[in-house]
Structure 1
C-alpha cells in the first residue's frame, strides 16, 4: 500500500500539483466549455486560468512572472515541438512544468531526472530480469520509463535538468521526439509503440549549467525555448514572498507575526545582490550563489520558524540575518566577503535612517565579525 493512501494530505510535506489543487482542477473541468486539444483534460484557456488564477472561480495564482510566457508554453505543447524552459536557478521552471503537466494531463509524476548517471534505459525502458529469464521478452517483463508511459497514455512527460545528462543520452530524445514512437526490438511483432494524442515533452535546463553538457543542434530543433526570468518588480516580489511564507506557515500550523517592511528589506537585499546594483544606482559585487525569489522564500520561512519556536513569535531582521548565512556560505568563500561589503556600505548607510536596516546590520555584524 502506498504512503499516499495511508497518510492524510495534511501530513504530506509536498503533494503533487494535481492533489494540492484537485478542487480547483475539478471546478475548472466542470465550467470548461472551450475546445480541448485531443488528449487534454482542460482547454488551453482553462490551463491558463489554472496557472495564472481566476478569482471568479476561486482559482489561485500559482506562477508569478511573465504571463505571455505561459501562453506561449501552452501553445507550444499543442504542437509538434517540445517545450524547453531555461533560466537561472530558482526561477520556478520546475514548478511551471509541474503545473502544466497537472492541468493538461492530470499527472505531473511522469518525470525523468537528468543526472550524470541517467542512461538510455531511464528514457526508454528496462527489464525485470527475473521475469525476462523465466518468460522471455514480454510486456509483463518490461519496466517502462516515464516517457514510455506518457507516450502510451497520451500525457506530458517532464525531463528535469536535461543538460546534466551526457550528450549521447540527450540525443536518445531526438528520434523519440521526431518519430513519436519507441522501438522495442525484443518484442517482435509488438516492437513499435506509438505515442497517443496528448503526448509531449517539457524539459528544463539551468543557465548556469549550460557548460555541463551543451545540447546538440539537432536536439535543440525539437524544442521551443522559453526563458524564465527572475522577478524584477519589487512590490510584486514582496507580495509573492509574503504569500508563500504565510501559506507554508499555515501548512506547518506555525503562528508568526510578519510585517511587510521586514519582508521588503529581505527582497531589496536579494534583488540588489542579484542585479549587482543598489536602488540608488550604486554598483556592487554580485555573489556567485543563487539569490533567487525561491531562496528568499526559503530564508523568510526559516527565519519565521526561528521566530516562532525560538523567538517571541514576531519576525524581525535579526532572524533574517541569521538565516541568510545558509544562502551565502555555500560554494565560494569570496561570497561572504561580497555580502559583508554590502552590509558595510549599503546597509550601513540605510541603518542611519531606518530601524529595520539598523537591526539587520547589527545582527549581521554579530554573526559575521
Structure 2
C-alpha cells in the first residue's frame, strides 16, 4: 500500500483519548475496539480477545510481543486442526479418491481453504503496535524499522504524530526489506530479482526455463511484457536478444520495482509504461508475453492481485485485445498453470474457446511440472489438484 486517503484509529488509555494514523497492508478498516495489553497478557487471553474481534495495542517488550503473536498463531492452528480442517480433510478425502463426487467438491474445498486462511489473517492481525512519525517504536528492545516502513508505507505526513498497524504488517514490511536486500536467485538466468513491498516475489519460477526454451519468432525486434511485476519476463527477453521491450503494469509499486531490477541488470532497451494491459503509442510487437494471475477468484488484499483474477477478467481482457497489438507473423507467449482446471474453477474448453474467440490459434505448447513444496505435500487438502498441476507456455498466433 502507499499512503493516500487517511484513516485514523482511536482508543482510550490512562483515562485519555488517543488518535493515530491507521495503516493496513490489506486495506482492512480501522479497528473499532482496542484494549491495551502488555507483557503480562497470556496467549489464551490474547487469543480469546482476537477471536471476539477485539484488537490489542501492545505496551512492553518488542520480543515478548513477537512471542505472544507466535503463541496465538499456534492456538489458531490447533483450532483449525480441531474444527475447520476436519471439514477440509473430509472433503479432501473425497477429492483425492478421484470419484465424481470428489471432483465436484474441489471448488468448495478451495473456497473453504481460502476462508480458513482469511479467518486466520483476521485473528492474527488483532495485535497492534504504535510507531511515532519517524516509524520508531517505544517498546523495549524494538529493532530499527524506519527504512522498512518507509519502503512499505511511505513517509507519514508532518501533522500525524504517530501511526498504528498490526504486528503482522510490520513483520511483512521487515520481510520485504530482507527480500529487497538479498534478492531472489533465478538460477536459470544466473541473476537475482529484487522484489519490493507489495510486488509478488517470483519464488516459483519453473516457467523461466520454458521462456528460455521457446523458439523466438523469425522477426523479434519488438516485444511487450504485459503485467511485468518485478520485470523478470522482460529481463529474460533482453537476455535472449530482443532489441526493444516495452513492459507495462498498472501498479506503481511494480513499475518502481521493475525499474530497479532493469537498472541492476544495466538494461537500456526496456521501456516501462503504466497501463492496464497494453501500451499506447507503441509499435506493433513481434512477441507479446504475459504471465497473468492463475486462479479465477476474488483477491482479498493488494498482493493477491498477482495470484487471483476474479472471473478471469485479466486473462480474458488480454486475449481479447492482444491480436490488435500483434505484428504480422507475431506470437503470443501466455504463461499459465492449469491448477484452476484441476480445482474445477475453469475448464480447458473455456480457455480454448477464449483463444478461438480472440482470433488466435495454438501454435505449440511447452509444459513443465512444478516442484514446489506444496505440490509434494500429501497432507495439503488440495494435494489432489496441486500434485497434478502443469505450468505451460502457450504459443499463440493469429488465425
Query: Would you call these one fold, judging by a TM-score over 0.5?
Result: no
Normalised by the size of structure 1, how large is the TM-score? 0.27
| Higher helix proportion | 1
TM-score (norm 2): 0.25
Q: Which structure has more RCO (C-alpha within 8 Å, separation ≥ 6)? A: 1
Larger strand share, 1 or 2: 2
